[in-house]
Structure 1
C-alpha cells in the first residue's frame, strides 16, 4: 500500500504539473480539435472574454470526451475504452506531448460507455424521474492509464471554459455532479483521492478492491458491484466445497489483484486451504517474468489455480501457457475475467469456475447499441476505429492503406463482438444502476412531490456534496433489481456461480450453475443448482490436496517445514481411536472400552471369568461333583459295613464326619465357578475356610486318637478317659468355631465383593472377587495352614506306631500331600492372571481334598470291598500282636 500511495502521489504531482502548463505551446491536430470544441462550449455559454476583477484560466491541455452532451446537470464518466497508451518520452527540456491511446479498442468497455449514454437518454425521456430536467454527460477514455484517469478527473472537477469569471474564486466552478467509473480498481483509487477532496461522488461499476470500502480514505466512493471481500469469501467457500485444500494463486500486480488476493488468502486460511505458490504479474512486465510464472504453474503439484487477475493481464499469461502443453489445471476465477466472453477462446480452461455479477435484462439497450448509422460512425473517432477494426476495412482516408474501403455492406446486426453481445448483461447493468443511483440522488435534491405530481426546478443551484449526501440514502428498484448502498458505499453482494462448459458444437460457453447471496444467514449463502463440468470435460471432482486424507484410526502429523495441508498419517497409539477423517489427535477409549482393529470405534471390553460354559470350568466342575459323589459313595460303603472291625477300629464317628466335610470341600469349589456376585464372593471364601477347618479338625482328631490309643496300652495309663468321643466332638467343634469367628469378623468388617479388574489385561475385563480385607483372607488360610502343620507333625510322630491298618501312615501321606498342595498354591495364586487365579484356587481345593479322601479311605474301601477276609477281628488282633 505504501508503494501504491507513493506512485499515486507521483502521478498526482505530474498531472498537476501538466495542468499548470500554459496553453501557449503549439498543439497537435488533436489539440486544435479540442480547442475548437472548447471555443464552441464557451460561445454557447455566453461567457465574455473581457477583463474582470477576477480572471480564471484553465491550465494545461484539455482532453476531448469521447461522448458528450450538455444538460442542466452534467454527469461525468470514465472508461478504459482503449487498452494501452503510446509511450511518451521525457527529456525534461521541452514540453512532453500529450498521451495518446493506441488503436486497441476494448469492445466491452465501449459497450459500457455507450450504456451510460443510453441510460441518461432513458432518464431524460422519463416522466417520473427528473421530469423537465435534462441530464448531460461527459464520457472520457482513460486508456487503462492511471495518469490519464487522473487527468480527466481533474478536468471533470472544473469547468471546461478556457477563461471564465467569478466574483469570488475559481474553485468548484462548473464541476460535474458525479462521476461514473472507473473500470479498474487502481485508477478508481487515484480518482477517488482527487474527487473526495471536492465532495464529488464517484460511483464505480467495476472497481472491486476491498480497500475502497474504507470511508476515511475514500469518503465519496460508491459502487454498484460488490467488494472483492465478498467475492474472496465466496471463492474460499467454493474451493472448500469441492475439497480442494492445495491450490496455486496468481494475481495482477495492481491494487485490484493484490488486495483481492490478500482477502482471498485470509478467507482461505480460515477454511483450512493451503497455497503452494502465490505469483503476481502485470501485462507491462517483461516476457521472462510471464514465462517464469507459466513454468511455476506447469511444474506445481496443485491441481487448482485461483486467479485474481484483470482480463488484460490474464490474456497474456494464458497465451504463454498455450504455447507449451501443460498438465490440466482447474481454474477458479474472479468475475473480472471469468465472465469476459473474449477469454472463452482459451479452450484448455474449460471447466473453469468463478463468481460473476448477476445477469440482467435492460429493455431496448440492444437496439440502441446497434443503432449505428454511417453518419454517426463517421462523426465519432471511437466508433470509426471500432467499425474499422470490427469489419477490417477503412472509412474514407483515415485508416491504413492495406485495408479495403468499407463499401456499406457491413451489417452490425451480424457482428459477433462483446459490444453487440447483450445475452448476459452483467457489467452493463452495473453502469445502468450507477447512473440511475446518481439520477435518484439529484431527483431527491431538486424535486418535490406535491398533489401526486413531481415538480423539479432545473434552475436550482446544487453542489456535488448535496448529491453525495443523497446517494448515501438512495434506495430504489429498477428492472427487478434493488439498488442501495451500505455505510461503506457497497451494495448487497449477490453472485452467480459460472461454469465454463463445452457446448455440442465444441465451443466454450458460460453456464450459470449456482448462486451466492451474502445477505442470507451464515451457512446458507452458497447454493449449487446445476450440472457441473470440471477440467477435462468430466463431471467428477478432481483432487487437489498436498496429502491424502487421513482415514479414521489415524491422526495427522505435520511435515516439517511445509504448510499445514502437508502431513503424514500415523496410526493411533494402543487404546486410542480417531473416528473422524483428518483427525489431528487421537483420544483414549473409556476404561471399560477398547478400540477395534481399525481404531475408529470403541467397543466394550469382553468380560472374562471362569464360567460353566468353557472347557476349564466344565472340567473343574466335573471333578468337583465327582469328588463329592466319591465321598458319598465311601460314606455309603462305610455305613453299610459300619459293624465291621476295620470301620469300628478307626473311629467311625470321625470318619463319617470327615467324609461329610470332604463332600462340602468338593462342593464349595463350585462357588468359585460362574460370574462373581456379592453372595458368591462371600460364600466361596467362607465356605472354603470353614469346610477345610472342619476337615483338618477331623483328621487331627483321628491322629490324636491313634496317639492316645497307643498311650492307653501302657501299664497304668488312663489317658483315653480324657479323649473319649465327647472330647473328640468338642475338639472338632472348637477348632471349627475359631474359623467361623475369623470369617464372621472378616465379613463384618470388610467382606469380599465382586469387581472388574482392568489392570491385568488392556483388552478385556477380568470379573473377579476382591478380597475386601487381605488380612481376613490370609488369616483364614493361615489358620488352615496352622492346623495342617500341627496335624502333619502329629501324624509323623504316629506313623510307626503298631497299627493293623496303618492309619497313622495314611494320615501322614495325606497331610504331606495337603501341605505340598497349599504351599505351591501360594505362589501360583499370586502369579496367575485373571480367571486362572480362580482355577488355581479350585485346583488346590480339589487336589488337597482328593489327597485326603484317597490316602485315608481308599485302602480301607479296598479291603472292605475286595479283601473281606482281612476285615476280621482275628486278622486285626494278629496284626497288633505282630
Structure 2
C-alpha cells in the first residue's frame, strides 16, 4: 500500500475539496492523529469518502459531444497496442473519470484514480498492479488546476487538453503540468486582428464567471483599448449553473437578451467552456421563445477555442440558425486514418460492463435500454444498432475535433516518452538482481524527464513538439460555421493565427470564403458605436461615453483626414495642400516669374526695348561726339553712364526665369554694382557742374580740379565701395535658390534666398545714399549759370529715382513670389528709364531735331 508523503500538504488538498468547514475540521483532526506515524491510503479513503456530501451526484444530462474525447483516447490506446514498434510486449491501459463540472467530484475522482484498484485493461485482464504513469485532463482550467494540486504532490505528469491561459497559474507551481494546445495568447492576438480587419470597434463579450474568465478579461481589455476597440457590454455567465434560483435566472436572461437587441452591437465574443455556450443558448430561448424568427438576434458570434458548438439532449429540438456565420477559433486537427471507421463500429452491446457508453447512447439517440422492473414503450427502446453518423453535429461529430486530437496527441506524447525511457534503461543495462529493470518499476517523475521538449510523429503523419514552456507548438485555425435546416452544420477553414509564424503570416484570413448571416446581405456587417467619421472630419469624444463613441467635426483650416475615423487631422506635406473637402492632399505647383507668362513677357519686352533705346542713344552720342552738346559735361562719363544704363536694363532679365544657383549668385550683386556705377556717373556729372562754375571765379583754387581726374575719381571710388560690399556679401552668405512652401497654399515659390538680409539692405542703402547725395548736389546746382547746365535734369531724374526706390522697400516686403520679383524688375526699369529720359532726351532732341542749337556760339549766347 502506498504511503502519503506529507500530512500537511494533504490537509490543504482536503480543505479545497470540502465546502463544509465542520467536515474539513473533522478530517483535519482525524489526519493529525497519524502525525507521529504514517497515514495509509486505506485509512484516508474510508474517512474521506464517508464525509463526502450526498449532493455530489453530477448533472442529469451529459454533453454527448464530449464522448468523442473518450473515444479518441480509446482509439489512440488501441492503435498503440497494435503497433509492435512502440512498447513491444507491453499493453497500454487507461482509466476514465468524469469530473461532473464539480470541484469536489474532481478531487474525489483524482483520488479514485490514485488509490482504487481497478483492473480494467483493453484486450485482456491480467493480475497486475495499477501503474499510473501520467494523467490526461482536464478540459477546463478549474478542473485542470484542481487535479494539478493533487498530482503535483506525487510528481505525476499531467497533460491537459483544454485551451485556457496558463498565465493565471504560476508556471512554477507544477513543473509537471503540460499543455497539449498552443498558448492562448495566440488566440487573443487573433481576436484583436480579426476585429481590426473588419473594423469592429463596438463589441459585446460573454465570458465564463470563473478565474479563467477574469484572466481572459484582464488580458483582452488592454489589448482592445490599444487597438481602438471598446466593449459595449461584459456579461458573466456561470459555468455550473443552479437553475433552482429562479430570480437569478430571470435577471440573467434579461441581461443576455437586452444587448442582443442593440442594432449597433453586431459582434459578440463568447469565452468559456461549452457549458457556457449551452447556458447562453438556454437564456436566449427563455428570453425570447421566437428567437429563431427574431432578426435582431442574428449577430456575428466569435467563439473561442474552449467553446464547442454542442447542445445537450434537452436542446436537440431547438433552432440554432442564429449562429450561422459564426467565426470559431479552433485547435488544429488532422484526423488519423481509421478513426471514422472506429466510430462506426462502436456498438453498446459489444462493450460489456461499460455502463457509461450505454448512458451516452440513451441520451444521444433519445432512447432507453429495457429495464425488467419498469415498462417501456417499444418505440423508445434502444436497439444498439443506431449509427453515430446519423446524429446531428451539435450532439456528436464524426470528424475528430481539435480537443480530441489534443487527447490523441497526449497519448502519443506519453507513449513516446515511456518508449525513450525504457529504451535508455535497456541500453544502459540497468541490472537489478541480474534482470533488466521492468517497466512497472519506473516512477512517473522519470517520464516527466523525457516529456520535456519531446518531439514525435503521430500516426496521422504530423510532427509535434512541446516547447520549453511545456506547451504544444503552433497556433489556432479560424473556422466559419455554416448551418443547415436539418440541424447539421459544417466548418469551413477561413484562416489561421500564430504569433510565432514568419513575419506577414501571423494572421491569415480569406474573407471571400466567409458566409455571413443573410440579414447582412452576405457582406461583413458594421459593429460600431456610431457611424464612421468620413475623410475630412475628425473624431471628438462624447462626454461620459467610451472613447469608441464620438462626434465628427470638420478638420481645421490647412489640415486633412484622408481615412475614416481619424483621431486628429494632419497637415499636408510642405509640397502639398489640402483639397476642397479636406480629404486629401494635392501636389503644389511650382511658381516663378517665367519668360513664357504674360507678365514675364511684358517685363522682358520693356527691358529689351529700353536697352535698345539706350543703345541708340549711345550710338547717337558716339556719332555726334565732336558736337558741343556732347562734349559738354565730360563726354567719357556720358558714355559710361549710357553703358551702365544699358547693363541695368539687361540685368533685369536675370530676375526672370527659374532661379538657379548662378543667376541667384549674380543678379543682386551685378545689379547693385552696375546701378552704383550709373549713380556715381550722375554724381560725377553734378560735381562737374559745380566745380566748373566755381572755377570761373577769379583767383579760384578749384581750377585744378576741373578735368577728368575729378569725375573719374568719383566714379571709381563710389563704385569700388559698392563692389567691396558685394564681395563681402558673396563671400560670407551668398544668395541661393530656395523653395518657399509656406507663403502660398497651393504653390511652391522658387525664389532666390538673399542669404544675408543685412547685406542685401546694406547694398540697397548704399545705392540710396549715393542717390540722395546726387539729388541734393544737383538740386543746389540747378540754377548755376553754365553752358547747358545738366543739374536741373539730373535733379528731376534723381527725384524719380529716389521716389521709385523709397516706395520699393515697403512694396518689396509686402509681396511674395512672382509679385516680389516683378516689383524689383519694375523698380530697376523705371529708375533706369528715369535717368535715361530726364538726362538724355533733351540732348537727343537738340542733336537730332535742333542741330542749329548744337553750336558753340549758341551755347555761349545762352550762357550770357
Correspondences of 1:579-618 after superposition (within 5 Å): 593=575, 595=577, 597=579, 606=590, 608=592, 611-618=594-601
**Take 2:618 and 2:500, find their aligned partners in 1: how far apart are those partners?**
96
User: How far apart in 2 are the matches of 1:567 and 1:304?
Assistant: 19
Q: Name 1:333's counterpart in structure 2.
A: 303
Cα distance change on mapping 1:220 and 1:755 into 2, 3 Å: closer
Please list, as runs of the form range in 1=range in 2, the aligned pairs for 1:537-556 lying within 5 A after superposition.
Answer: 540-544=523-527
Cα distance, 1:689 vs structure 2: 0.5
The corresponding residue for 1:74 is none
Q: Is the 8 A contact 1:445 1:467 kept in 2?
A: yes
**CA gap 1:573/1:108 in 2 versus in 1, 3 angstroms:** same
By how many angstroms is 1:300 displaced? 6.8
Q: 1:108 to 1:620 in 2, by over 3 A?
A: closer
CA distance in 1, matches of 2:232, 2:485: 36
State the partner residue of 2:718.
739
Please, which runs of 5 or more residues in structure 2 have no aligned partner?
1-10, 28-38, 119-128, 242-247
Contact (CA 8 Å) 2:684, 2:711: kept in 1 or not?
yes
Which residue number corresponds to residue 727 of structure 1? Answer: 706
Contact persistence 1:829–1:837 (CA under 8 A):
no
Name the residue aligned to 2:407. Answer: 431
Q: Which whole-Å CA distance do the structure 2 matches of 1:103 and 1:469 have between them?
A: 41
Q: Counterparts in 2 of 1:800-839, with a 5 A limit?
A: 807-808=788-789, 811-812=791-792, 814-823=794-803, 825-832=805-812, 833-834=815-816, 839=822
Q: Which residue of 1 aligns with 2:751?
A: 766
- Asked if 1 retains the 8 angstrom alpha-carbon contact of 2:560 and 2:572, the reply is yes
Query: What is the DSSP-based 3-state SS (H/G/I as helix, E as strand, rest coil) of the residue aligned with 1:222?
Result: strand
Contact 1:392/1:404 (<8 A) preserved: no
Correspondent of 1:308 among 271, 294, 308: 271
Q: How does 1:322-471 map to 2 (within 5 A)?
A: 323=288, 324=291, 325=294, 326=296, 328-337=298-307, 340=310, 346-373=320-347, 375-376=349-350, 380-397=354-371, 404-406=379-381, 408=383, 411-412=386-387, 415-417=390-392, 421-444=397-420, 460-471=440-451
Counterpart in 2 of 1:510?
491
Question: Which one is further off, 422-431 or 362-371?
Answer: 362-371
Query: What residue number does 2:151 align with?
Result: 195
Give the conservation status (yes or no) of the 8 Å contact 1:628–1:664. Answer: no
Q: Structure 1 residues 17 and 115 mapped into 2: Cα distance closer, same or farther (>3 Å)?
A: farther
Following the alignment from structure 1 to structure 2, what is the Cα–Cα distance between the partners of residues 424 and 460?
32
* Aligned residue runs from structure 1 range 142-181, under 5 A: 142-160=99-117, 176-181=132-137
Name the CA shift for 1:566/1:685 in 2 (closer, same or farther; >3 Å). Answer: farther
The answer on whether the counterparts of 2:497 and 2:506 sit within 8 Å (CA) in structure 1 is: yes
Matched, 1:477 2:460: no
Which of the numbers 626, 630, 647 marks the counterpart of 2:609?
Answer: 626
Shift of 1:510: 0.6
Deviation of the 1:699 alpha carbon: 4.7
Q: In structure 2, which of residues 474, 477, 495 is the aligned counterpart of residue 493 of structure 1? A: 474
For the 8 Å contact 1:245–1:544, the answer to whether it is kept is yes
Distance 2:340 2:740 in 1: 84
CA contact (8 A) 1:577 1:588 kept: yes
Counterpart of 1:249 (choices 193, 205, 221) is 205
Q: 1:650 to 1:404 in 2, by over 3 A?
A: closer
Residue 13 (structure 1) aligned with residue 18 (structure 2): yes
Q: TM-score, normalised by structure 2?
A: 0.76
Residue 215 of structure 2 is aligned to residue 259 of structure 1: yes
Q: Judge conservation of contact 1:334–1:354 (CA < 8 Å) in 2.
A: yes
Name the SS for the 1:138 alignment partner: coil
Q: Is the 8 A contact 1:281 1:290 kept in 2?
A: no
Distance 1:682 1:853, change over 3 A: closer
Q: How does 1:627-706 map to 2 (within 5 A)?
A: 627-634=610-617, 648=628, 651-652=631-632, 654=634, 657-658=637-638, 661-673=641-653, 674=655, 675=659, 676-702=663-689, 705=692
- Residue 209 of structure 1 contacts residue 228 of structure 1 at CA under 8 Å; is this kept in 2? yes
Shift, 1:511, TM fit: 1.0
SS in 2 for 1:133: coil
**1:777 positional shift:** 4.5
- The answer to whether the 8 Å contact 1:829/1:841 transfers is no
Shift of 1:686: 0.7
Deviations 1:370-409 (A, max 9, x none): 4455644785443333333344443223778578452748
- Are 2:801 and 2:834, in contact at CA under 8 Å, matched by a contact in 1? no
Deviations 1:335-389, CA, capped at 9 Å, x for gaps: 2235558899522222222221222333444444444556447854433333333
Cα pair distance change 1:345/1:485, threshold 3 Å: farther
Residues 395 and 406, structure 1, Cα contact 8 Å, conserved in 2: yes
Q: Larger Cα Rg: Structure 1 or Structure 2? A: 1
Tell whether 2:231 aligns with 1:275. Answer: yes
CA contact (8 A) 2:559 2:578 kept: no
Segment drifting more, 303-312 vs 758-767: 758-767
Aligned length: 786
**Structure 1 length normalisation: TM-score?**
0.75
1:43-97 deviation digits (Å, cap 9, x = unpaired): xxxxxxxxxx99944645999xxxxxxxxxxxxxxxxxxxxxxxxxxxx9x9953
Aligned-residue offset at 1:292: 0.9
- Asked if the contact 1:133–1:456 (Cα under 8 Å) also holds between the matched residues in 2, the reply is no
Give, in angstroms, the shift of residue 688 of structure 1: 0.8
Partner of 1:37: none
